[in-house]
Amino acid sequence: LPVFAVLLTIAAAALLWFASVPPLALHQVMFGGIDNYALLAVPFFIFAGELMGRGGIAERLVRWVNSFTGPLPGSLALTAIGSSTLMGAISGSSPATVAALGKTLYPGLRRAGYSAPFAAGLLSSSGSVAIVLPPSIAMILYGAAAEQSIPKLFIAGMLPGLLIGLAMALYVMLRVRRSKPGQAIGQPFCWAAFAAATRQAWAALLMPVFILAGIYLGWFSPTEAGGFACAYAILCSRFVLRS
């Protein structure tokens, strides 16, 4: 059976036999549970992450992060962590972050000498930072279910998310010094290359700034921020990046 059918059957059975919900009121209880304006932010942010992957925004973010991690040990692995952190601050979705960056970074990590388990584990674990960093979809769901302030949850998750990313980066640098994969260190830092990468990615870099500033300053709600993220990704891909 499809997953949705299994979940629907279990939920309906629980409501009918354990919660004593009348059959005529079953649909009201089920649909009333998702009748929440804040939940609209979830598909919006997931769609924004997909647009970033298909529109070339994620690839430009990867190039920008890689432009200043080159001299460090484990430069490409650090690029994966930094790019996942930026993507997580835009899409709020761990699967969307891994899907957008995995197809770009996994082949490069393998060519750089990293083992397949390490590369896969790095991309999946660094993508999980999106669960904590705002605009986290998990926090949106929790805030809607527990009737908590979603902007306050976002503020509470910002520092832990950055610390998780920093801890991952430190682990990668220590791991690379010990295992020494084939191309652990990339190109030396070059201001010209960094400036060129910034010119190519400036519109993508402004995206999380606009989203988080808009939420914290009260310009729009988290749901409206999700719609803004989709519109910004479309306009950025079509008219600015022309990808």
Domain that holds residue 217: 39-240
183 in any annotated domain: yes
120 in any annotated domain: yes
Per DSSP, the three-state class of 146 is helix
For residue range 19-62, list pLDDT tens digits in order: 676 776 666 766 766 666 777 888 888 888 788 878 778 788 88
192 in any annotated domain: yes
Q: Which residue has the higher pLDDT, 105 or 1?
A: 105
Q: What string of DSSP letters covers 178-227?
A: HH--TT-S-PPP-HHHHHHHHHHHHHHHHHHHHHHHHHHTTSS-HHHHHH
User: How far apart are alpha carbons 151 and 67 in whole angstroms?
Assistant: 32
31 in any annotated domain: no
4 in any annotated domain: no
Q: What is the mean pLDDT of residues 98-125?
A: 83
Confidence band of 12 (pLDDT split at 50, 70, 90) = confident
Count of domains observed in the chain: 1
pTM, rounded to two decimals: 0.76
For residue range 131-179, list pLDDT tens digits in order: 888 888 888 888 877 888 888 888 888 898 889 989 988 888 888 877 6
| Predicted local distance difference test score (pLDDT) of residue 204 | 82
2 in any annotated domain: no
3 in any annotated domain: no
| Predicted local distance difference test score (pLDDT) of residue 10 | 85
Mean pLDDT for all residues in the chain: 81
Residue for token digits 């999700």?
226
| Predicted local distance difference test score (pLDDT) of residue 236 | 83
Give the number of other CB atoms < 10 A from CB of residue 163. Answer: 12
213 in any annotated domain: yes
Q: What is the mean pLDDT of residues 117-121?
A: 87
User: How far apart are alpha carbons 6 and 12 in whole angstroms?
Assistant: 10
